[in-house]
Every structure is written in structure tokens, then in C-alpha cells.
Amino acid sequence: MFDKKPDIEFRIHIVVEPDEDVFHAYCPALKGLHTCGDTEEEAIDNAKNAAIAYLHSLIKHGDPIPVGALTDNEEDKMPPTPGKGMTHHTRDLVVADV
């Protein structure tokens, strides 16, 4: 009846930096994606969830995927060393049901 579309896997880079008493997280490849969390891990999780929604929307509307959002078979290249207090994280995402 209904054909299920395949899931698409991505690998993204998330930068986290302390911001007063919370942590600010953003994904340089996904313009405008900024979030925060009470802990570094919460900020990473929030950025990951926001990135899934962001990529799902791009795919749904037929918009191009930014170069920095890597598919699973592309080479993983970490950005340069972050500034003071900043940390870089790589996370794998699955965008389903697009």
C-alpha cells in the first residue's frame, strides 16, 4: 500500500560553549541552529533534536542539504580547535519518514 521512504543518516558537528550558568550549542553547518541546556550534554541533545527537525524540513521542502551536514559515507573532518571553553562534538542523526 504505502511505501516507506528510507531513513537518511547524517553526521553533524556541534559546538558547545559555556554561557553564564548554561551551555550554548550550535551547529555551524545549519545556519540559525542555536540552542542551550543546563548541562553540556543537555545542550548537545537539544542541538541534535533541533538538527533532526531542521534537516527533515529541508528534505520535505526539497531544499539543498548544507555541505557541513555529512551523510554517513562522507569523510568526517573535525573543524579547527575551538576557542577557550568551547568543545566540539560529532553526532550521528537519522532523519526518518521524509
Residue 93 has pLDDT above 80, yes or no: yes
**Exposed/middle/buried for residue 58 (C-beta within 10 Å: 0-12, 13-18, 19+):** middle
Chain-wide mean pLDDT for the chain? 84
Q: What is the distance between the alpha carbons of residues 22 and 56, in angstroms, rounded to a whole number?
A: 27
Q: Answer yes or no: pTM beyond 0.85.
A: no
pLDDT at residue 6, rounded to an integer: 78
Looking at residue 8, its pLDDT comes to: 87
Q: 68-85, pLDDT tens digit by residue?
A: 665 544 444 455 555 678
Q: Tell me, what's the pLDDT at 23?
A: 97
pLDDT score for 92: 86
- Give the SS3 label for residue 31: coil
Domains of the chain in sequence order: 13-95 (3.30.160.250)
